[in-house]
C-alpha cells in the first residue's frame, strides 16, 4: 500500500503559514480564439486539499481553462495564480502536475525507464515502486509503452503526472475514451493520491463522475461559470434524466409540464414532449397522477441539452 | 538534462532503421565505392579509400544529425513536448539535450568509417592525422544538428521526410561528399564550394592534402552556415512554440 506519506513537506512552508494561498486562483480570466469566447470572465478559487470537478459539455471551455491554469496559455485578461505565484513557478518547483487530454506516451521506452527519467526531473519524487503500486503498473514496469492497453497507458500518464508529488494535480478529462473497468482503475489510483491531502482539479463531461469524486463542482458552459457548488447542490439544478411522453393534441400546456416536480425544461416536438428532470422518479409519479404516462421513455440526459436547460437556452424556460 | 540525454539515446538506438540509416548504409556505400575503383582498375585505390572515408564518414554523421534532429516532429505531434513543459525540465534544456544527443549520435558513423578504412581498405595515417580527422568530422558536423532541429520544429509529420531528404542528399551531392568537386562542371563547382558540406569535408581533407583551397574560406563557409542554421532553428522553434507544440 502507499499510505504513510501524508505530507512530504511537513506541513505548509513558511510563506504558506503566514498567509495561506489558495491552491488556484483565477480572477477575471478571459480567452478568445478569434471571435469565439472560449473562456469568459472566469473567477475560480480552489482551496488546498479540495477536489474540484470542472463539468461541462464539449466546447464549454474546460480544456482552455485547464491550459490557462497550467500556464500553457497566457490569459488575455485577468490573472492566474497557483499557490500565490505564476503557474510557471509552480511547474518549475514541481508543485503542479498535470495530465493533458491529447498527449500520447513516448514510444520505444519501457514503463520503468520512462518513470525513472521523470523522477529525475523533480526535487522530491515518489520512489519508483511506490508510483508503480499507486498506478497499478507494477506488473507492466518492464513493458514498452507501445505494448500497453489503453487503460494501462492512461495510468502511465497518470503516474507521470503524480511522480513529482505535486501539491496541485490537474487532469483534463482523465477518463475520456476509457472503458468502465479502466475508468474504475484510474479513479482508484486518483483517489489514493488525493487521500494524501493533495488538491485535484479535473474536467469531465459526466455528471456522475463529478458527483462521485469531487467535493465541489463548477459547471462551465460557453466559457462561463454557470453553477458552482457541492455535488448535491449541482444535482438539484442539472437535469440528469430526459423523460419523453406522447401528448396527443395539445392536452397539456408546456407551462403545466414545467410546473411538475423536478422538471427544469420542456421541449415539444410533434406529438411528443421531452422533459428534462433533476428528479425523474418524482416527475414520473406526478405524470402518472395526471394520467399523462403514454409511450413513456426515461433516458440519461444528453449533457449538452441539460446544460442548455441550465443556461436557459432551451425552448422551455426554467421555473422561477 | 543528463537523464533526458540518456532517455533520448536509448530511444533512438531502439528506433528501427536508425542504425541502418546512419551506420550500415554509409558503410556499405563506402565499401562498394572504394572497391569498385579497384575492380575497374581506374584511379588510385588508396586515394579513393582515404577520400571516401572522409566524405562518406561526413555523409554518415550528417545523416545521423538530420535524422535525429528532425525526429522532434514526433515529440511535437504526440504532445510529449507539451508534457515536458509541465515538468521542471525547461524548454531550453530540452533543446540543448536534443542537440547534445544528436552530437553523440554523429560520432559512431565517423568511427565506423575510419575503422573500415583502416581494417578493410588498408588506409594508414599518422596518429596525428587520425587525431585531427576524427574530431573534425565529428564536431564539424555541428551546424547540421541545428538544421535537423529546425526542420523538426518547422515541418509536420508529412513534410519532414521530403525536407530531410532534400537537405541531406542535396547538400551531400553539391558539397562533393559523393563525387569530388573537380568532377563537376565549373558553374556547379562554384555553388558546391559554398555549401556547408563542402566546407565541412574540406577541413579534414586538407589534413591529408586532398585540396588546396585556403582554410579560411572553409572555416568562413562552415561558420556562416552555422549562423544561418542557428537562426533557422530559433525561428522554427519560435513558430512551433507559438503554435503551442514546442
Q: Is B7 in the A-facing interface, judged by CB distances under 8 Å?
A: yes
Q: What is the DSSP letter of A85?
A: B
Complex-level ipTM: 0.91
Task: Report the mean per-residue pLDDT for chain B.
Answer: 92
What pLDDT, on the 0 to 100 scale, is given for residue A45? 96
pLDDT higher for A318 or A198? A198
User: Confidence class of residue A3 from pLDDT cuts 50, 70 and 90?
Assistant: very low
Identify all chain A residues contacting B10, using CB atoms and an 8 Å cutoff: 108-109, 113
What pLDDT, on the 0 to 100 scale, is given for residue A306? 65
Q: Do A97 and B86 touch (CB under 8 A)?
A: yes
Identify all chain A residues contacting B87, using CB atoms and an 8 Å cutoff: 91, 94, 118, 121-122, 164
Asked if the model's pLDDT at residue A230 lies above 80, the reply is yes
Q: Would you list the DSSP string of B86-142?
A: TSSS-HHHHHHHHHHHHHHHHHHHHHHHHHHHHHTS-----HHHHHHHHHHHHHTTH
pLDDT under 70 in chain B at which residues? 37-43, 212
When divided into structural domains, chain B yields a total of: 1
3-class SS string, B148-211: HHHHHHHCCCCCHHHHHHHHHHHHHHHCCCCCCHHHCCHHHHHHHHCCHHHHHHHHHHHHCCCC
The residue among A88, A108, A114, A168 with the most chain B CBs within 10 A of its CB, best to mutate, is A108
8 A C-beta contact, residue B27 and residue B21: no
Identify all chain A residues contacting B97, using CB atoms and an 8 Å cutoff: none
What pLDDT, on the 0 to 100 scale, is given for residue A240? 77
Q: Domain range spanning residue B208?
A: 2-245
Instruction: In whole angstroms, give the CA distance from residue B163 to residue B119.
Output: 35
Angstroms from B75 CA to nearest CA on chain A: 8
What pLDDT, on the 0 to 100 scale, is given for residue A20? 77
Calculate what percentage of chain A has a pLDDT beyond 90: 59
What pLDDT, on the 0 to 100 scale, is given for residue B42? 62
What pLDDT, on the 0 to 100 scale, is given for residue A239? 77
The residue of chain A with its CA nearest to that of B15 is: A108
Q: Do A118 and B87 touch (CB under 8 A)?
A: yes
Instruction: In whole angstroms, give the CA distance from residue B78 to residue B244.
Output: 12
What pLDDT, on the 0 to 100 scale, is given for residue A318? 38
8 A C-beta contact, residue A124 and residue A165: yes
Identify all chain A residues contacting B80, using CB atoms and an 8 Å cutoff: 103-104, 106
Mean pLDDT within A16-44: 88
Span of A1-15, A139-153, B20-34, B156-170 with lowest mean pLDDT: A1-15
Amino acid at each position: 500500500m502507499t499510505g504513510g506519506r501524508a505530507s512530504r513537506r511537513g506541513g505548509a512552508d513558511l510563506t504558506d503559514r503566514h498567509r495561506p494561498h489558495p491552491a488556484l486562483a483565477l480572477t477575471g480570466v478571459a480567452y478568445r480564439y478569434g471571435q469565439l469566447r472560449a473562456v469568459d470572465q472566469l473567477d475560480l478559487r480552489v482551496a488546498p486539499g479540495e477536489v474540484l470537478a470542472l463539468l461541462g459539455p464539449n466546447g464549454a471551455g474546460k480544456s482552455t481553462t485547464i491550459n490557462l491554469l497550467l500556464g500553457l496559455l497566457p490569459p488575455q485578461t485577468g490573472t492566474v495564480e497557483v499557490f500565490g505565484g505564476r503557474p510557471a513557478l509552480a511547474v518549475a518547483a514541481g508543485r503542479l502536475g498535470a495530465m493533458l487530454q491529447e498527449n500520447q506516451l513516448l514510444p520505444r521506452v519501457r514503463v520503468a525507464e520512462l518513470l525513472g527519467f521523470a523522477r529525475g526531473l523533480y526535487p522530491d519524487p515518489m520512489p519508483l515502486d511506490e508510483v508503480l503500486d499507486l498506478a497499478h503498473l507494477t506488473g507492466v514496469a518492464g513493458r514498452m509503452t507501445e505494448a500497453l492497453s489503453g487503460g494501462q497507458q492512461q495510468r502511465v500518464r497518470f503516474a507521470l503526472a503524480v511522480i513529482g508529488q505535486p501539491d496541485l494535480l490537474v487532469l483534463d478529462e482523465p477518463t475520456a475514451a476509457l472503458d468502465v473497468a479502466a475508468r474504475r482503475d484510474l479513479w482508484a489510483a486518483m483517489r489514493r493520491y488525493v487521500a494524501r491531502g493533495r488538491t485535484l482539479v479535473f474536467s469531465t463531461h459526466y455528471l456522475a463522475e463529478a458527483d462521485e469524486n469531487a467535493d465541489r463542482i463548477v459547471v462551465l458552459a460557453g466559457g462561463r461559470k454557470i453553477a458552482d457548488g457541492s455535488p448535491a447542490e449541482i444535482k438539484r439544478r442539472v437535469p440528469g434524466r430526459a423523460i419523453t411522453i406522447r401528448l396527443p393534441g395539445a392536452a397539456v400546456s408546456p407551462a403545466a409540464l414545467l410546473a411538475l416536480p423536478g422538471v427544469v425544461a420542456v421541449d415539444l416536438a410533434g406529438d411528443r414532449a421531452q422533459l428534462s428532470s433533476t428528479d425523474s422518479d418524482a416527475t414520473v409519479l406526478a405524470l402518472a397522477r395526471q394520467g399523462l404516462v403514454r409511450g413513456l421513455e426515461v433516458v440519461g440526459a444528453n449533457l449538452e441539452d441539460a446544460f442548455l436547460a441550465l443556461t436557459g437556452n432551451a425552448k422551455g424556460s426554467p421555473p422561477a | 538534462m543528463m537523464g533526458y540525454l540518456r532517455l533520448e539515446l536509448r530511444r533512438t538506438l531502439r528506433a528501427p532503421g536508425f542504425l541502418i540509416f546512419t551506420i550500415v548504409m554509409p558503410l556499405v556505400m563506402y565499401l562498394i565505392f572504394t572497391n569498385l575503383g579497384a575492380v575497374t582498375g581506374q584511379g588510385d585505390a588508396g586515394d579513393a579509400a582515404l577520400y571516401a572515408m572522409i566524405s562518406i564518414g561526413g555523409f554518415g554523421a550528417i545523416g545521423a544529425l538530420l535524422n535525429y534532429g528532425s525526429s522532434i516532429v514526433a515529440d511535437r505531434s504526440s504532445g510529449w513536448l507539451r508534457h515536458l513543459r509541465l515538468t521542471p525540465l525547461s524548454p531550453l534544456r530540452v533543446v540543448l539535450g536534443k542537440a547534445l544527443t544528436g552530437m553523440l549520435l554523429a560520432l559512431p558513423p565517423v568511427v565506423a568509417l575510419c575503422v573500415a578504412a583502416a581494417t578493410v581498405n588498408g588506409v594508414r595515417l599518422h596518429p596525428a592525422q587520425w587525431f585531427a580527422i576524427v574530431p573534425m568530422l565529428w564536431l564539424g558536423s555541428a551546424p547540421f544538428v541545428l538544421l535537423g532541429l529546425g526542420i523538426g520544429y518547422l515541418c509536420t509529420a508529412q513534410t519532414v521526410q521530403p525536407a530531410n531528404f532534400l537537405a541531406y542528399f542535396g547538400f551531400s551531392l553539391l558539397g562533393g561528399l559523393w563525387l569530388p568537386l573537380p568532377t563537376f562542371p565549373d558553374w556547379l563547382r562554384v555553388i558546391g564550394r559554398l555549401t556547408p558540406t563542402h566546407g565541412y569535408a574540406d577541413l579534414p581533407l586538407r589534413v591529408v592534402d586532398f585540396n588546396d583551397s585556403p582554410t579560411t574560406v572553409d572555416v568562413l563557409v562552415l561558420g556562416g552556415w552555422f549562423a544561418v542554421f542557428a537562426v533557422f532553428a530559433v525561428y522554427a522553434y519560435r513558430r512551433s512554440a507559438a503554435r503551442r507544440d514546442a
